[in-house]
Amino acid sequence: MKTDILLSCKNLTRRWDGIIAVNDVSLQLERGSVHAVIGTNGAGKSTLINLLSGEVEPSSGRVELLGQDVSNWNQSRRARSGLGRSYQRNTIYPCFTVLENCRLSAQAQHQTPWSIWRDAQKDTTSLGIAREAAHQVGLDDLLECQAGFLSHGQKRQLEIAMCLSTSPKILLLDEPLAGMGAEETERMLNLLERLRANHAILLVEHDMDAVFRIAQRITVMVNGVVIASGTAEQVRTNSQVRTAYLGEHG
Amino acid sequence: MRYQKLFIALAFGLLAFWPFISGSYGTDLVSKIMIYALFALSLELLVGTTGLVCFGQAAFFGIGAYSVVLLSPSDTSASVIWISLAEAILLAGVFALLVGSLALRTQGIYFIMVTLAFSQMAYYVIHDTPFGGGTDGIYMYVKPSWGVIDLDKPAHMYGFIWVSLLAGFLFLSQLLRSPFGRALAGIKVNEQRMIASGFSVYPYKLAAFSLSGALAGWAGYLFAVKDGFVNPELLGWHLSGTVLVMIILGGLGHIRGAIVGAFAFALLQEFFQSEIVFGTFAKHWHLGLGLTIIACVAFMPNGLVTVPRQFMERLSGRSFNKSSQPLGEQS
Amino acid sequence: MAYALAPFVSASFGGEFFSVLVLGLVLSVILGYLLEWLFFSYLYKREHLQQVLMTYGLILVFEELRSLLIGDDVHGVNIPPILDVSIPLNDMMTYPLYRIFISSVCLLLCIGMWFVFTRTRLGMMIRAGSTNREMVQSLGIDITLLYRVVFAAGVALAAFAGMISAPISSVYPGMGDGVLIVCFVIVIIGGVGSIKGAMMAALLIGLVDTFGKLLLPQVAGVLVYVLMALILLWRPRGLFKV
């Protein structure tokens, strides 16, 4: 089976006033695979995601999306081309319902700003996508609930649902499991397994059990530099990684 | 939601009958207030819906007003209503497009000040150059007309203003329900998330800014035609501040808040200025108005339109926030 | 508001200049403290624009109270005798000492403020509180008192400015009006939160305004705003970021 590389970066570097947050990082995301990025705090993982998503401009290096050089593209343009991301903090719309949160996200891919006579919240296209996304994360019962009143775990699920509502081909997930209990984590990991088939997923996470369970490839970063990258087994047995980060987990 | 629709229907119905039950002063007063209400609606689109606080709305209002006076035919014949109105709206809208294209490069308090800066530039052009007729202002002696509609007649003028306000309200209500309006609501709540989802927010904001300016220009046109007189203060920052106060008072995030706020503010001003009630103390009407505003801020944190809901919540002892109605859309 | 009120109050008290200055400062600190406590302290949790509305209401009330209690007359305030001399610059021109006094006092105040903000613990708390209110609170610092003190200090500074400028501009209703917008413009151009920026901007605005009136009188009024627009388009966050 030919694996297609949906997103890749080469020699990506980002400097801030003397600190090199991301230093010469290259990686590839393939369809059908979960690629985890792990590292200590301050290792540059979030900056890496910001560089890939377009939120931050690189100091040097390139980003390729579906074979195209998108280094100059801004974030919304990359998002429209199939690059979805979720945030470490919740970026939901607290005063809208769960359904509206997803529907508005879906609208991004079907924008018709000139059709003023239409009632957006009755739009079948965006509603259908929204319901499907909410169903995938398990929020069907809470569609009419105001998002601000959800529990933390449910908000994290909504965060993923909103990302899915944009029909992305690539998912950049920044600590989706943060603050989740055991049951919610299980549900999220099952979801990621299901999504893997048709998407390329980049997962930044601290939960090592989760990472080793679902990631096919792992990249380890320390102080902005990649110190190891390979299959889960390769990384687990890498001595540099063990000393730098895994400690007893290996 | 039904109650809100009923309230609006009643309000417009009452306004339609008003000229028949009040004298000429009352009709003139409500004419003026309705114009302010339309003006307030234009700002609500920016501030309450999109979250863009503009402190230069008066510039668009004034441009609309000055355009009808400056562009009226030099042979003192009456201009055609639709043409002169279209000119006013277009000029104000284009100016808003230009200002917005530059101002939207800034954010937050800086955006507020840049909008002020540009409106002050417009003010000074009118105030200090011969182009605008200077501080004395300009009179308009022949009012626009079309067919049997002659805006020189107070009854026709009132009706035209009423129709304008209704049209503006209905337009905005529908706009907010449309995909464009929902995008604006999303931008207000969480612009970063909108960008991450794939919306280019700048074009949306610019469109909202231009529409808002055009609508303010419409209100300015009505003001000029009704009074037959324009002066530079129509572009001044005091007026920009006043209309901002109106919509905050009425309640941000609700279109009817703009109308309620305009009426509340203007009526309070009338009340405190009336010598019948206050005698000679009426010249100190700023005091009463100021105290009332302070009380409103202290006791009504979300504006006048939310008072019924606050009241109902107190009575029933439960919060209304878990309703199925997404709070981002309220008319 | 405080700028306009203070001179009125001091003018009506008459008396010796410097003691009135001190009295005025004390009163304005108390006033500022009370204002914050009564009217603003509960607004921080709400939308920013509620503060705008409250300020608007307060301005209306204060202007009217002033009109009721002190009247609408224009007052003159005399320059204190020791400062009422002119310094000769050369054979032909002299310069009033009082203006030098004003400039030096303001300069000293600026340096003092800069010192407090950047070199003292109080300044550190203020700067921290403006960026992250909750964090400062959880560190055990009384943020309400801090905000109140800052507000009172701001009122006092404005009042002081009003009082020392009283002798050279007369004291009249609405004298705060012209200064109000320019103050905002200065803070914005300088960059919100930067004292250095405010100083630079104030100097810049002063120069542009004065020379504008001299060289290009037709456009003098609008120059300040053109300047602000240009600067903000070049640097959307003001001259100096914080």
User: With an 8 Å Cβ cutoff, are B182 and A121 in contact?
Assistant: yes
Judge whether B173 lies within some domain. yes
Q: Is A42 found in the same domain as A120?
A: no
Tokens 């914005």 correspond to C188
pLDDT tens string A175-220: 998 888 888 889 889 999 999 988 999 999 988 888 989 999 999 9
Residue B176 CA to its chain's centroid (Å): 16
Q: Which residues of A touch B321 (CB under 8 A)?
A: 146, 149
Based on the fold, state whether residues A160 and A101 are members of the same structural domain: yes
Taken in order A66, A67, A71, A74, is the CA torsion positive or negative?
negative
For residues A61 and A184, state if they share a domain: yes
For residue A26 the two structure tokens come to: 């290259």
Residues 6+ apart with CB under 8 A from C167: C77, C78, C79, C98
Domain encompassing residue A158: 91-166
**Is residue B293 assigned to a domain?**
no
The number of domains in chain B is 1
Burial B176-204, CB ≥16 within 10 A → b, else e: bbbbbbbbbbbbbbbbebbbbbbbbbeeb
* Whole-number pLDDT of residue C42: 79
Residues of B in contact with C52 (CB under 8 A): 244-245, 248
Give A89-148 pLDDT, tens digit per residue. 889 999 999 999 999 999 999 999 989 999 999 999 999 999 999 998 889 899 999 999
CATH of the domain at A42: 3.40.50.300
Identify the domain containing residue B111 by its residue range: 22-249
* pLDDT < 70: residue spans in chain B: 1, 74-77, 318-331
* Domain locations along chain C: 2-173, 177-242
- Could you tell me which chains touch chain A, where touching means 3 or more CB pairs under 8 A? B
SS (H, E, C) C197-230: HHHHHHHHHHHHHHHHHHHCCCCHHHHHHHHHHH
Counting one residue from chain A and one from chain B, the pairs whose CB atoms sit within 8 A come to 111
Quick one: pLDDT at residue B318?
60
B287 to C60: CB separation less than 8 angstroms, yes or no: yes
Whether A143 has its CB under 8 Å from any CB of chain B: the answer is no
- CA distances from residue C213 to A36, A213, B117, B122, B128 in whole angstroms, order as listed: 65, 74, 18, 19, 13
Q: How far apart are CA B303 and CA B310, in angstroms?
A: 10
Q: Tell if the CB–CB gap between B328 and A95 is shorter than 8 Å.
A: yes
Comparing CA positions, the residue from B3, B330, B42, B44 lying closest to residue B182 is B330
The pLDDT, as a whole number, for residue C10 is 59
Does A154 share its domain with A186? no
To the nearest whole Å, the CA of A250 is away from the closest chain B CA by 35
Strand partners, A35: A202, A217
Same domain, A35 and A45: yes
Q: Please check whether residues A75 and A173 belong to one and the same domain.
A: yes
Q: How far is B168 from chain C (nearest CA, A)?
A: 24
CB contact under 8 A, A146 and B193: no
pLDDT, averaged across chain C: 79
Tokens representing B60? 């668009």
User: What's the number of domains chain A is made of?
Assistant: 2
**pTM as predicted:** 0.88
Whole-number Å distance between alpha carbons of A84 and B224: 51
Q: Which residues of chain C have pLDDT under 50?
A: none
Predicted pLDDT at A158:
93
When CB atoms are compared, the residue of C185, C222, C238 closest to B121 is C222
Q: Are residues A173 and A247 in the same domain?
A: yes
Q: Are C98 and C164 spatial neighbours (Cβ–Cβ below 8 Å)?
A: no
Residue of A nearest to B180 (CA): A113
Is B26 contained in some domain?
yes
Tokens of A100: 């509206």
At residue A71, φ and ψ (nearest 5 deg) are -55, -30
Give A-chain residues touching B199 at CB under 8 angstroms: 76, 108, 111
